[in-house]
Amino acid sequence: MVEQPLPSRSPIVRMAAVDLWYGRYHALRSIDLEVARGECVVLWGPSGSGKTTLLRCIAGLEACQSGTLAIAGAPKAVGPLVHPLPTAGVGMVFQRSSLFLNMRVIDNLTIGLRRVRRMDKREAEALALRQLSKVRMTDFSMRYPAQLSGGQQQRVEIARALCMDPQLLLFDEPTAALDPELKREVGEAIAALAQEGRTVMVATHEPLLIHALNARMVLMAEGAIVGESTSAQFFAQ
């Protein structure tokens, strides 16, 4: 199990009394949550418990309708008429691959660097290769996503998120569609990021992934936070 670095006291995520509805469905219910810089947090709960919705709010892919939400001290707009706006400094890796199938791995990683950060090709590729090396995927840089296994695709997704140097990395059920061996590979990659001191939030109900992370566990049910524990306490129960 990975030893988690001690987080600093400055929260990178601060949520207070956050609510979100989809029509009449109350998806998030009065969420109060703080995540410190350098902390690893696992959101645990059954399907439909609100884990993914909470992460999407932090990433700016959903807009909260009431309460307050701040990322790295910057408040996000909240209200029934607010449109979602991606949160700067936040990277998110989804359950299913979102890689561009018609692009090689190296091009998937550099497209954002070149278009958003205006890096030249050589600089962008050098950075992309450094990030691929962190997830042991350097040898696959010239392949297309369809030539990779599911676990390899997820590791490329992690490298792509790292290219933008996010302050906060979010993972939504990153091992759900993988077989046990690939779950272990991806879990080790995420655990290595937490060990580096990156702030990591993972929505999962996979015991293998939880076991790989020495995390604070936030337990969710029916859109609400219903408790917290350490991973050790969780397995003991």
pLDDT tens-digit readout, 51-103: 999 999 999 999 999 999 999 999 999 999 999 999 989 999 988 888 999 99
At residue 9, the pLDDT reads 57
10, pLDDT greater than 80 = no
- For residue 3, name the pLDDT band (cuts at 50, 70, 90): very low
Work out the percent of the chain whose per-residue pLDDT is above 70.
96
Reported pTM: 0.88
E-strand stretches of 146-212: 168-172, 199-204
| Burial class of 138 by CB neighbour count within 10 A (0 to 12, 13 to 18, 19+) | middle
For the chain, the average pLDDT equals 90
- For residue 167, name the pLDDT band (cuts at 50, 70, 90): very high
Q: Please name each of the domains of the chain with its CATH number.
A: 11-89+166-236 (3.40.50.300)
Q: Interior CA angle at 53 toward 51 and 57, to 5°?
A: 120
pLDDT tens-digit readout, 30-47: 999 999 999 999 999 988
- For residue 8, name the pLDDT band (cuts at 50, 70, 90): very low
Q: Is 121 helix (H, G, I), strand (E, B) or coil?
A: helix
